[in-house]
Structure 1
Amino acid sequence: MKPLVQVEGLRVVARNDAGTEFPIVKGVDFAINEGEVLALIGESGSGKTTIALSLMGYARSGCRIAGGSVRIGEQQVLELDDAGLSGLRGRTVAYIAQSAASSFNPSRTLMDQVVESAAIHHTLSRARAEAKAVELFRALALPDPEHIGARYPHQVSGGQLQRVMAAMAFITDPALVILDEPTTALDVTTQIEVLRAFRNVVRQLGTTAVYVSHDLAVVAQMADRIVVLRDGEIRENGETAQVLGAPAHDYTRCLLAAAEPAERDIAIAAPAPLRMPVPLLRIRGLYAGYGAIGRDGLPAKRILTDIDLTIERGATVGVIGESGSGKTTLARVVAGMVPSARGQVLLDDAPLPDGSHGRTREQHQRVQFVFQNADTALNPAHSIGAILARPLSFYLHLRGDARRKRVLQLLDLVKLPASIADRLPGELSGGQKQRINLARALAAGPDLILCDEITSALDTVVAAAILDLMAELRRELKVSYMFISHDINTVRAICDEIVVLYAGQKVESRPRAAMGDAPFHPYTHLLVSSVPKLKMGWLDTVCARATAHPPALAPAPQASDAGLCGFLPRCGVRVDGLCNRLPPPRQQLPNGGEILCHHTPAALIPLQAPLQRFEEVA
């Protein structure tokens, strides 16, 4: 059978600042049969997205397609003129981008944007396009499919917007759909919903697709075949079962190893926390939010409610939860970026003033923040040396040769060469920029580093290297971390304790030694069961269990409203007449943790029997 897509000898080159061209895709060959899903995987810079974009005859700024051929059906893509490419894109080949939020026009309704491609390519009338859009909304499991199209992009969640983008791609019945890291930025429970919706639509429509990802566990659920890329070359090309079960190339084996954090190795490498009479950080009864302050002394929009948390010297505490759970707000309160409304944040048992203006230089120095997006956290106009020199001057008053020497020491500390000091952030890879982000925090000589989703945008190999580096720095510098993430696999790899937030409430905490033992809070149980496993068919066998909780039919109440559980509308084990009337008690677990739940630990264990061992689902 003749394949639908045939790529032969594809070469793409890029141009550096000196005007010299160099290859970034080097003679790539592969084919895709009709109805097949092909995954392109590899580290950042491997050429995944560059190859995917070439299937539309497109090269990003500074790059050009230098040779080879791309055939889709009977069309030779690289031979098309501008008019031909305009007819191809959105009609024969559709593209689903990684960030839906940046791909939509905020001033137009979702329906207007979904049906636009059908109007451009004259495939359907407006009425028929809208009817088909509603069918796609329903197939993609979007809420209120008949009316969601009347909303604007900011009026739906990130996961919903990602599915609306899929409807936009499928509206013209394209021959090929490219999905470029469509779930990378989503938390695990949302990712499951989106993955299931994408997979079901691809199956129903018999779509031929290219799935670009660095997440092998996700690829295992979506792809029929996998192409493994490194440095613009194919290292392996085979059926998914073969690549995952019996990889032929050393690099594939490296990717598979990096897909599962080396939990035990990191745990052995990291020192035990120092149990002192006074902990490094203690948070007591913390409330925080935004908006006008009410009569109760609390803000109109409450983000955090009655949070207690302790970080010992030399410890790493992980804070996990879905988007909007309050994780970043908690870190920003600790850093002084957001004021608290009630409660205390104590450093060495001394209260930290609210907001940055009330804090001393020493207090700022001792608590440093590493932001999620290194691209926006680093000034693009300053050299790496200048970026690292700033905190050295401000906090440590270093000048001249002493400052330059310390900059080089910091680069060595984060495993980067001295030559990096003279380069700009735009000349570095994502992993290198995140190391600089970390080095800048270390430059102040802090006791506590607040890490906000610092590995979420990195591929598995680079993320694993960052986690190893953090463990090494913890061992050598005795630094403590608050590690914020929505990825429970990452958190369990490096943390001594996990704190779970939902709707601004602390619903669970547990020590590292008990991370694999039931019972869990029902929300933690959902998180754990939603982590994709590196196993084909996992989505089919586990998804029903992970999504057994009924969907929220109304917005989750603020955690402080009558003191009720914020997870109540989604909880599959709620007790009507109890959970919807009385605040849940905080119950101690036999393993040293605690949960905020009406159910006793003994009652939860049989309800969660399928997930009694953490390793079965992580």
Structure 2
Amino acid sequence: MAELLEIRNLRIEATIWPPGEAARDVPIVDDISFTLARGKVIGLIGESGAGKSTIGLAALGYGRGGVRITGGEVRLDGQDILSLGRGGLRSVRGARVAYVAQSAAAAFNPAHRIGDQVIEAAIRHGILDRAAARRRAAHLFEVLGLPDPERFGARYPHQVSGGQLQRAMTAMALLPGPELVVFDEPTTALDVTTQIDVLAAIKAAIAETGTAAIYVTHDLAVVAQVADDIMVLRQGRMVEHGPAEKIITDPEAAYTRRLVTVRTAEGAEAEDQSDRLLDIDGVTARYGELTVLSDVTMHLPRGQTLAVVGESGSGKSTLARVVTGLLPPAGGRVFYRGRPLPPALRHRTRDDLRAIQMISQMADTAMNPRHTVAQIIGRPLRFYFGLRSRRRRDRVAELLHQIELDPSLAHRYPAELSGGQKQRVAIARALAAEPEIILCDEPTSALDPLVADGILKLLLRLQAETGTSYLFITHDIAIVRAIADSVAVLHRGRVVRFGPKREVLAPPFDDYTDLLLESVPELRTGWLESVLRTRRMGSAGH
């Protein structure tokens, strides 16, 4: 089979400025080689900062800010990508090669309609005329499970959920019919039921078009469903490379075995429901005329974790916005320590603001790109506690240690960090306020399993030490089992199941909760096909 992509001895360096030392160049990708045939998928997996996304971008002839490709070859169908000038790269990108980014929110222009952005590349490269491109977009929207596919493109990015926007970005990459697509965590923002549809759509598109793909992820169970080969990376170097089945069932390297076997322990069950810190009572929320939450009621005891699960667009993140005061509810109330909170953020006291912090799903859009890590984490320290100068710097260093980042990163800007590092900075910023409640909106979705495991253990330890309560929004049932005391299942803006974890995750299930639990990826090849067969049989039975 002809090799479409050849990467040989790739070396990528970055310049760092350690405090008090001279600038120096360090390798962040070192001597990476692999080939990829048409219609095949290679999965790149490893810890945050291992070089996965950097290698994927290098396949497009791109080195993100602060890095340089200093050695090796990248050939697409025999053509040396690294030797192309700007004009040559423009003719290739979007037409022959495409990229699906980790953060859809950062990939779309908020001032333009989604459909216009999805079809832009195909039109600019002369691949399709506008009418044909719109028909192709509607077809991809339907394949990717987006609502009202004929009119979905008329919406603006802020009018859809994070998961819907991620699928729209997948459509944007696939629309011109590229030869190579780099998928950088394309299902990170998706709930488990939608994830199955997107994975199936990606597999189908690759099979039908002969497109080759690089699939970057931290989730071995996901990559097992789409990849033919897997390369395991650590600190910019290859740890192990081979067929997906071999890597998953019989890994040779100790690091790979850790990735395969890492499991989080079951969290403690909710026992005492009497000491309620947060009550959500009959909350209804709307965006204009669109009702997103309907009569939502649940509660969070002191020192415990309430996990809120449901599909993209079910209202999970909207619920967090209501609790924080970013979106005043159209009906119902939110109570903190037994007293009603002012619905709008601007009417809340400084202590109310400090007590309830939020870790956003999209770290890219939650941090000012012109501020350093020290400024980002230091702002709540100054605002809530008046810390200045050396005391603030020392506390920033302590917080960076807590979330397993080197304090030297305090001088970096968000663009100089990996996706996982940015998410950990967002966690540190929330911890800086010493809150009583943290609203966690998919805080570990950008992290590899080992780092995510460490973050979850950190959150549990902090909870045990300080009594902090978590409202934890996630689509990962494994995380629910590991960290939750109680669980609320949202479906189309309504609570369909709520109670202690041991009750919510035990049969008999309602149809929607049953679907959620059946959709959790298993670490075995062929799982996706078996689930799809079961779904088809169930549909035929009805």
Specify the TM-score bucket, using the shorter chain as the normaliser.
0.7 to 0.9
Opposite residue 254 of structure 1, the aligned amino acid is R
In 2, the alpha carbon distance for the partners of 1:257 and 1:533 equals 13
Q: Name the residue aligned to 1:5.
A: 5
Deviations 1:477-517 (A, max 9, x none): 12111111232222222001110112221111132223542
Which of residues 118, 122, 132 is equivalent to 1:117?
A: 122
Q: Name the residue aligned to 2:207.
A: 203
Q: 8 Å contact 1:119–1:125 — kept in the other structure?
A: no
Q: Name the residue aligned to 1:262.
A: 264
CA drift at 1:67 = 1.7
Q: Name the residue aligned to 1:353.
A: 342
Q: 8 Å contact 1:181–1:211 — kept in the other structure?
A: yes
In 1, the alpha carbon distance for the partners of 2:403 and 2:114 equals 46
In 1, the alpha carbon distance for the partners of 2:68 and 2:283 equals 54
Q: 8 Å contact 2:146–2:167 — kept in the other structure?
A: yes
Opposite residue 295 of structure 2, the aligned amino acid is D
CA drift at 1:431 = 4.1
CA drift at 1:200 = 1.2
Identify if the C-alpha distance between structure 1 residues 162 and 308 changes in structure 2 by more than 3 Å, giving closer, same or farther.
closer
* 1:520 paired to 2:509: yes
Q: 8 Å contact 1:286–1:308 — kept in the other structure?
A: yes
Opposite residue 200 of structure 2, the aligned amino acid is R
Opposite residue 243 of structure 1, the aligned amino acid is I
* 1:468 paired to 2:457: yes
CA drift at 1:381 = 4.9
In 2, the alpha carbon distance for the partners of 1:357 and 1:307 equals 23
* 1:340 paired to 2:337: no
Aligned ranges 1:474-493 → 2 under 5 Å = 474-493=463-482
Q: 8 Å contact 1:275–1:313 — kept in the other structure?
A: no
CA drift at 1:430 = 4.2
Which of residues 31, 38, 42 is equivalent to 1:38?
A: 42
Opposite residue 518 of structure 2, the aligned amino acid is S
Identify if the C-alpha distance between structure 1 residues 36 and 498 changes in structure 2 by more than 3 Å, giving closer, same or farther.
same
> Equivalent residue of 1:254, what SS?
helix
Which of residues 272, 277, 295 is equivalent to 1:275?
A: 272
> Equivalent residue of 1:456, what SS?
coil
Higher mean alpha-carbon deviation, 100-109 vs 519-528, is at 100-109
Aligned ranges 1:190-589 → 2 under 5 Å = 190-258=194-262, 261-264=263-266, 267=267, 275=272, 277-291=274-288, 300-382=289-371, 384-385=373-374, 387-396=376-385, 409-416=398-405, 419=408, 428-546=417-535
Deviations 1:118-141 (A, max 9, x none): 762x66777877777777677767
CA drift at 1:240 = 0.6
In 1, the alpha carbon distance for the partners of 2:137 and 2:331 equals 47
Identify if the C-alpha distance between structure 1 residues 378 and 2 changes in structure 2 by more than 3 Å, giving closer, same or farther.
closer
Q: 8 Å contact 1:313–1:478 — kept in the other structure?
A: yes
In 2, the alpha carbon distance for the partners of 1:125 and 1:340 equals 44
CA drift at 1:322 = 2.1
Q: 8 Å contact 2:118–2:169 — kept in the other structure?
A: no
Higher mean alpha-carbon deviation, 489-498 vs 439-448, is at 439-448
Q: Unpaired segments of 5 or more residues in structure 1?
A: 292-299, 551-571, 574-618
In 1, the alpha carbon distance for the partners of 2:489 and 2:384 equals 34
> Equivalent residue of 1:275, what SS?
coil
Opposite residue 272 of structure 2, the aligned amino acid is R
Q: 8 Å contact 2:101–2:186 — kept in the other structure?
A: yes
Identify if the C-alpha distance between structure 1 residues 70 and 518 changes in structure 2 by more than 3 Å, giving closer, same or farther.
same
Higher mean alpha-carbon deviation, 372-381 vs 37-46, is at 372-381
Deviations 1:129-160 (A, max 9, x none): 77777776777677787x56974665887666
Tell me the matched-pair count: 536
Opposite residue 286 of structure 1, the aligned amino acid is V
In 1, the alpha carbon distance for the partners of 2:509 and 2:518 equals 11
Q: 8 Å contact 1:388–1:443 — kept in the other structure?
A: yes
In 1, the alpha carbon distance for the partners of 2:336 and 2:55 equals 50
Opposite residue 114 of structure 1, the aligned amino acid is I
Opposite residue 71 of structure 1, the aligned amino acid is R
In 1, the alpha carbon distance for the partners of 2:373 and 2:106 equals 28
Q: 8 Å contact 1:304–1:330 — kept in the other structure?
A: yes
In 2, the alpha carbon distance for the partners of 1:55 and 1:528 equals 36
CA drift at 1:188 = 2.2
Opposite residue 356 of structure 1, the aligned amino acid is L
Q: Name the residue aligned to 1:613.
A: none
In 1, the alpha carbon distance for the partners of 2:143 and 2:406 equals 51
In 1, the alpha carbon distance for the partners of 2:242 and 2:380 equals 49
Q: 8 Å contact 1:55–1:70 — kept in the other structure?
A: yes
> Equivalent residue of 2:443, what SS?
coil
Which of residues 68, 72, 84 is equivalent to 1:68?
A: 72
> Equivalent residue of 1:4, what SS?
strand
In 1, the alpha carbon distance for the partners of 2:131 and 2:280 equals 56
In 1, the alpha carbon distance for the partners of 2:397 and 2:161 equals 43
Q: Name the residue aligned to 2:52.
A: 48
Higher mean alpha-carbon deviation, 380-389 vs 466-475, is at 380-389
Deviations 1:60-106 (A, max 9, x none): 23322222122333323334444544444344434344455654566
In 1, the alpha carbon distance for the partners of 2:64 and 2:409 equals 25
> Equivalent residue of 1:212, what SS?
strand
In 2, the alpha carbon distance for the partners of 1:404 and 1:54 equals 36
Q: 8 Å contact 2:65–2:416 — kept in the other structure?
A: no
Q: Name the residue aligned to 1:181.
A: 185
Identify if the C-alpha distance between structure 1 residues 301 and 357 changes in structure 2 by more than 3 Å, giving closer, same or farther.
same
Opposite residue 250 of structure 1, the aligned amino acid is A
In 1, the alpha carbon distance for the partners of 2:120 and 2:346 equals 50
> Equivalent residue of 2:520, what SS?
coil
> Equivalent residue of 1:532, what SS?
coil
In 2, the alpha carbon distance for the partners of 1:301 and 1:141 equals 20
Which of residues 13, 24, 27 is equivalent to 1:23?
A: 27
In 2, the alpha carbon distance for the partners of 1:235 and 1:255 equals 12
> Equivalent residue of 1:185, what SS?
coil
Deviations 1:155-176 (A, max 9, x none): 8876666566556555665443
CA drift at 1:215 = 2.0
Opposite residue 277 of structure 2, the aligned amino acid is L
> Equivalent residue of 1:344, what SS?
strand
In 2, the alpha carbon distance for the partners of 1:135 and 1:301 equals 25
Identify if the C-alpha distance between structure 1 residues 353 and 241 changes in structure 2 by more than 3 Å, giving closer, same or farther.
same
Q: 8 Å contact 1:530–1:543 — kept in the other structure?
A: no
In 2, the alpha carbon distance for the partners of 1:347 and 1:113 equals 43
In 2, the alpha carbon distance for the partners of 1:173 and 1:274 equals 54
Identify if the C-alpha distance between structure 1 residues 250 and 505 changes in structure 2 by more than 3 Å, giving closer, same or farther.
same
Q: What TM-score do you get using the length of structure 2 for normalisation? A: 0.85
In 2, the alpha carbon distance for the partners of 1:30 and 1:444 equals 46
Q: 8 Å contact 2:2–2:37 — kept in the other structure?
A: yes
In 1, the alpha carbon distance for the partners of 2:355 and 2:471 equals 13
In 1, the alpha carbon distance for the partners of 2:164 and 2:340 equals 41
CA drift at 1:281 = 2.1
Q: 8 Å contact 2:65–2:415 — kept in the other structure?
A: no
Identify if the C-alpha distance between structure 1 residues 288 and 402 changes in structure 2 by more than 3 Å, giving closer, same or farther.
same
In 2, the alpha carbon distance for the partners of 1:331 and 1:190 equals 21
